[in-house]
Structure 1
Amino acid sequence: MTATAEAGAPVSAPPPPAEDDAIATRGLTKRFRGGQVAVADLDLTVPRGSVFGFLGPNGSGKTTTIRMLLGLISPTTGSHTLLGTPMPDGWATALPKVGSLIEGPAFHPHLSGEANLRRCDAADRTADPRTSRRRIGDALERVGLTAAAGKRYKNYSLGMKQRLGIAAALLRHRELLILDEPTNGLDPQGTREVRTLIREIAADGTTVFVSSHLLAEIEQVCTHVAVMRTGRLVTQGALDELRAGTGARIRVDTPDTGTANGVLTGLGLTDVRGSRGEISAELGELPPERVCADLVGAGVAVRGLAVVRPSLEDMFVELTGEGFDVDG
């Protein structure tokens, strides 16, 4: 499903929640004291099995939404389901199947990674203590921290701390994993570690819901995205479908930009832009090989030709007329 809206306006009404949705919200709204609206009329649909990027600038309502999803705060109005179970009546059924890491991990600094996980596991009254050692070992192995299990948490790198937080969320099998800004503050190596881990978790069949303000990072791991702006949903859907909606451009490297302009215009391409040594246009439905053949047939010296697909940043700018932090 793909839905879009003008900036500041809600998307059109979605279909009712389905059992195969990992997350579905309908009209979810949070209004704080003083009338401040943090999230307004949110209709969000997260398919099972997806890696879902929940995007928006800082302050756009992402963390507030996650807190409502997990029952950490109550919505003012609206409803939602987790793994097909209506909330809040289904907390006892759904939450054991959901792992989360919200606003960074918090562990005892003087305990080892393994000892911290033992504390987390012991706090879960639904977990079988007889299998605790195996679960902790499996979780550490899954996030690549087996060799550092005995190391004190305070001596972990930022990337290791994030991975331990994810390990705590994975002490039991989870059908849904919710991560709030999992790469926030990490160096490039730590970011790559978390990104690889997300891919591995998703490959095992877990739906991963990742909140972030870093477009470039999310673009590398997500199958679906939703974009928030000032508490409202701007767009959501499969990433490939959203990119296709913004259209690809064809870019030609040539010294004959004048002649090339005439060819591209004659083919019906729009938004033709030329500069010294290069010309580009919206490709539309025309095959790029047809464009190349017509350019060569008209005597244009084609030194290079490329089809440029819009990035997630391009898509966001086109939808909202503005950008946000794409690097950190």
Structure 2
Amino acid sequence: MTVATGLAVATEGLTKRFRSGQLAVDGIDLRVPHGAVYGFLGPNGSGKTTTIRMLLGLLRPTAGTASLLGQPMPQGAALALPRVGALVEGPAFHPYLSGWHNLMRLDAADRTARASAAEDRVRGALDRVGLAAAAGKRYRHYSLGMRQRLGIAAALLRPRELLVLDEPTNGLDPQGTREVRGLLVELAGAGTTVVLSSHLLSEVEQVCTHVGVMHRGRLVAQDTLAGLHARGASRAVVGTPRPAVAAAVLDRLGLADVVVHPPGATAELGDHAPQDVVAALVHADVPVTEFRVSGAGLEDLFVSLTGEGFDVNG
């Protein structure tokens, strides 16, 4: 394959069809720049985890190609994966070992790591995710949130050029979620590229620079976060004591999706200049107490792209 320059993750026509006939991923072209925090969004079952498993060489694609850090996958896995930290479909550890000993076993399996510094690496990783006090506790006694933290710690045992995290805040309480978000911002600030699979809009809006939206196996949108915001249809928001009359004026002007909701009315602005809309309202003797242009929120845009709702909580 021809590896795209300037990209930490790139795919061309990446496709996965299972033996059952299910088309889980349908010809997607991912573009993740170096240094980006890429929010990989979509409802459950949209193909996000299958895509991540192909990127990491855990599944072979039916068609198409993928590269990580300039290395074709899975052929270049030996060169790429030591530079990648990953958490996919929840962590899996030995239940009767402590968090500390689980990480020590993982660290020992890394042939590129200096053995004499293993304890320092494990101690540092546990501290970064807030598990230092629970290091000696058996994994089987960890809560779901603690297990998720340990999985993130495993991905951070070594400095990584790329982190691929599948629903990293799953099971965390609000404080834990905020801590993970802060950690991702810190890592990105230090130059680590992050691919963050999530269905939480609040998570994406607070930490991501780029976004890809999956729906039924297809990549239906991909842009910077600002660019995706700009795709939302602008709405004219009119404040007036005569909302029904204002709505009638907006309708006559040809604005779409006119809605009356006292104390005002809204409509899609489309190609209409805001000053022309205000002039028409005043000409029709509609007292205008407020007029502003509001872009559609990410939730509205995602629903329009996928036809499905997203969890906006975090």
Q: Does the Cα contact within 8 Å between 2:229 and 2:298 map onto a contact in 1?
A: yes
Q: Is 2:214 the counterpart of 1:234? A: no
Q: Does the Cα contact within 8 Å between 1:162 and 1:194 map onto a contact in 2?
A: no
1:177-256 aligned at under 5 Å gives the runs 177-256=163-242
- Deviation (angstroms), 1:30: 1.2
Letter in 2 for 1:237: D
Q: Does the Cα contact within 8 Å between 2:209 and 2:224 map onto a contact in 1?
A: yes
| 1:220 match: secondary structure | helix
1:72-83 aligned at under 5 Å gives the runs 72-83=58-69
Aligned residues: 312
RMSD, matched Cα: 2.8
Cα offsets for 1:31-87 (capped at 9, x unmatched): 211322211211111111111111122222111111111111111111111011222
Q: Does the Cα contact within 8 Å between 1:213 and 1:324 map onto a contact in 2?
A: no
- Deviation (angstroms), 1:274: 2.1
Q: Is 2:265 the counterpart of 1:279? A: yes
Q: Structure 1 stretch 138-147 or stretch 150-159: which is displaced more?
A: 150-159
Q: Among residues 299, 303, 308, which one is paired with 1:323 in the alignment? A: 308
Q: Structure 1 stretch 74-83 or stretch 243-252: which is displaced more?
A: 243-252
Counterparts in 2 of 1:101 and 1:272: CA distance versus 1, 3 Å? same
| 2:164 match: secondary structure | strand
Letter in 2 for 1:30: K
Tell me: higher relative CO, structure 1 or 2? Use CA pairs within 8 A at least 6 residues apart.
1
Q: Does the Cα contact within 8 Å between 2:200 and 2:310 map onto a contact in 1?
A: yes
- TM-score, reference length from structure 1: 0.83
- Write the distance in 2 (CA, Å) between the matches of 1:242 and 1:228: 14
Look up the match of 1:89: 75
Q: Does the Cα contact within 8 Å between 1:111 and 1:153 map onto a contact in 2?
A: yes
Q: Structure 1 stretch 265-274 or stretch 63-72: which is displaced more?
A: 265-274
Percent identity over the alignment is 61
- TM-score, reference length from structure 2: 0.86
Q: Is 2:67 the counterpart of 1:108? A: no
Q: Does the Cα contact within 8 Å between 2:239 and 2:265 map onto a contact in 1?
A: yes
- Write the distance in 2 (CA, Å) between the matches of 1:222 and 1:230: 22
Counterparts in 2 of 1:57 and 1:257: CA distance versus 1, 3 Å? same
Q: Does the Cα contact within 8 Å between 1:19 and 1:83 map onto a contact in 2?
A: no
1:292-311 aligned at under 5 Å gives the runs 300-304=286-290, 307-311=293-297
Q: Structure 1 stretch 132-141 or stretch 234-243: which is displaced more?
A: 132-141
Q: Is 2:39 the counterpart of 1:28? A: no
Q: Does the Cα contact within 8 Å between 2:232 and 2:297 map onto a contact in 1?
A: no
Cα offsets for 1:252-301 (capped at 9, x unmatched): 33212245346656887554322332211234577878977986797654
- Write the distance in 1 (CA, Å) between the matches of 2:240 and 2:30: 45
Counterparts in 2 of 1:287 and 1:188: CA distance versus 1, 3 Å? farther
- Write the distance in 2 (CA, Å) between the matches of 1:301 and 1:153: 66
Gaps of 5+ in 1: 1-15
1:47-196 aligned at under 5 Å gives the runs 47-196=33-182
| 1:182 match: secondary structure | coil
- Write the distance in 1 (CA, Å) between the matches of 2:88 and 2:139: 18
Q: Does the Cα contact within 8 Å between 1:24 and 1:81 map onto a contact in 2?
A: yes
Q: Among residues 275, 278, 300, which one is paired with 1:314 in the alignment? A: 300
| 1:64 match: secondary structure | helix
Q: Structure 1 stretch 102-111 or stretch 168-177: which is displaced more?
A: 102-111
- Write the distance in 1 (CA, Å) between the matches of 2:297 and 2:202: 8
- Deviation (angstroms), 1:236: 0.9
- Write the distance in 1 (CA, Å) between the matches of 2:226 and 2:115: 44
Q: Structure 1 stretch 295-304 or stretch 66-75: which is displaced more?
A: 295-304
Letter in 1 for 2:135: A
Q: Structure 1 stretch 305-314 or stretch 284-293: which is displaced more?
A: 284-293
Q: Does the Cα contact within 8 Å between 2:8 and 2:193 map onto a contact in 1?
A: yes
Counterparts in 2 of 1:115 and 1:34: CA distance versus 1, 3 Å? closer
